């Protein structure tokens, strides 16, 4: 099971955090700080894995953004790279060649996307098509609401 996922920039700014295990805020901040500084100092020729406490950290850099996941000992680190990649693909499809700023300004959308891909630290959908459909349908639901609300406000319905 994945314990948490962090997205952060090359400058060490946190862009997204998803925790599947409960920790006090202070601990979360400490872990985040520690991992960001560890990973940012790693050299490109090093592997994408590091052992950290009793967890395995798997990270991968996509342009200016690092995707970092903590998994348990029996989890497959190579597959975790694929999960990260799948997430990036989804973001890319959704935003259309996604960049860091998309995730900054639409962080909630990035969270929604992750929540469709993974629930409780486990992958729950492996079909990209289904995933994007689900997200689109929910976005549509929201937009319909806006239309409805605005129409009501204007007294049209």
Q: Which of residues 16-75 bind another protein (CB under 8 A)?
A: 16-20, 22-25, 29, 45-51, 62-65, 74
Distances (CA, A) of 129 to 26, 100, 126, 135: 38, 23, 9, 10
81 touches another protein by CB under 8 A? yes
Radius of gyration of the chain from its Cα atoms, rounded to whole angstroms: 18
143 touches another protein by CB under 8 A? yes
CB of 37 to another protein, least distance (A): 14
Nearer Cβ to another protein (54/120): 120
Residues 108-137 that bind another protein (CB under 8 A): 108-109, 111-112, 115, 119-120, 122-130, 134, 136-137
86 touches another protein by CB under 8 A? yes
CB of 66 to another protein, least distance (A): 10
* 71: helix, strand or coil: strand
Instruction: Report the 10 Å Cβ neighbour count for 71.
Output: 22
121-133: string of b/e by CB count within 10 Å (b at 16+)? beeeeeeeeebee
């Amino acid at each position: 099971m994945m314990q948490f996922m962090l997205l952060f920039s090359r400058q060490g700014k946190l862009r997204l955090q998803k925790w599947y295990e409960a920790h006090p805020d202070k601990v979360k901040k400490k872990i985040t700080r520690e991992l960001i500084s560890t990973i940012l100092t790693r050299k490109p020729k090093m592997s994408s894995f590091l052992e950290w406490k009793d967890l395995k950290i798997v990270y991968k850099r996509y342009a200016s953004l690092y995707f970092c996941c903590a998994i348990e000992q029996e989890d497959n680190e190579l597959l975790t790279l694929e999960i990260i990649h799948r997430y990036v693909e989804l973001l890319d499809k959704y935003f259309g060649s996604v960049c860091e700023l998309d995730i900054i300004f639409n962080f909630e959308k990035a969270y929604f996307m992750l929540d469709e891909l993974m629930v409780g630290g486990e992958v729950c959908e492996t079909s990209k098509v289904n995933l994007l459909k689900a997200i689109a349908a929910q976005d549509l639901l929201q937009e319909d609401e806006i239309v409805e609300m605005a129409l009501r406000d204007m007294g049209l319905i």
